[in-house]
Amino acid sequence: MTDTLDRQAPRDSQDLVSPGTVDTDRVTDLVGQLLAAIGEDPRREGLSDTPARVAAWWRGFFSPEPTATPTCFTEQHLSGQLVVIGGMGVWSLCEHHLLPMNLDVAVGYVPEGEVMGLSKFGRIAQQYAGRLQVQERFTRQVADQIAVVLGSNDVAVAVRGTHLCMSARGVRMEAARTTTVQAGGRFESDPVLSQQFLTLATDRWRTA
């Protein structure tokens, strides 16, 4: 939870990796080959359309709705108010196993003269979920992008992840959840603000 935002340049090359164009025909072909390689008959009835269906899914996964320019609204007299937007669930793919992870995202910020349209937080989360990810990087990327849009480092992001690579393979721990927190600006320096954010952001996780 200690990290300063560097809004001048991405911190690692992964930030530059935005989803490329999916070669749907090639993916269709490769999924057919995969089915054959695991001992299946890709031509049998139940599987004949599977490669094309899987290819279409990959294309959709890498093409989340384009992020519209985030809208900020001028709103004076909000000095020091904490805003927390929680319950934003997105699906991503773990880059180590190509298995789904469900990420429950909460964002906190302190408006200074401007508030951001609420749905934009969800769109930013969707944008960074639509690529091969690890939860830690996703958390930072969402925080960095919101800080850029708001023009302020007073941003905190908490994410609770359920990873199929942990619950359905390997150790098979179904109840395991991973929580990551990225806090910048006042969320880093003000323990009271930080605690308020964590209490509100993680409230629903205590019972779920």
Measured from the CB atom, the residue of 94 and 110 that comes closer to Zn ion is: 94
Q: Quick one: which of 26, 44, 53, 96 contacts Zn ion (CB under 5 A)? A: 96
53 binds Zn ion (CB under 5 A): no
Measured from the CB atom, the residue of 127 and 133 that comes closer to Zn ion is: 133
Of 165, 86, 91, give the one whose Cα is nearest residue 128: 91
Size of site (CB under 5 A) for Zn ion: 4
For residues 34 and 134, give the distance between their C-alpha atoms in angstroms, rounded to a whole number. 25
Measured from the CB atom, the residue of 96 and 204 that comes closer to Zn ion is: 96
Measured from the CB atom, the residue of 131 and 186 that comes closer to Zn ion is: 131
114-173 residues in contact with Zn ion (CB under 5 A) are: 165
For residues 41 and 103, give the distance between their C-alpha atoms in angstroms, rounded to a whole number. 35
Q: Which residues pair with 101 in a beta bridge?
A: 92, 163
Q: Minimum CB separation from Zn ion for residue 171, in Å?
A: 11
Q: Which residues in 162-187 are b (16+ Cβ under 10 Å) and which e? A: bbbbbbeeeeeeeeeeeebbbbbbbb
Q: Quick one: which of 5, 31, 94, 157 contacts Zn ion (CB under 5 A)? A: 94
**What is the pairing mode between strands 100-109 and 72-74?**
unpaired
Residues of this chain that interact with Zn ion (CB under 5 A) are 94, 96-97, 165
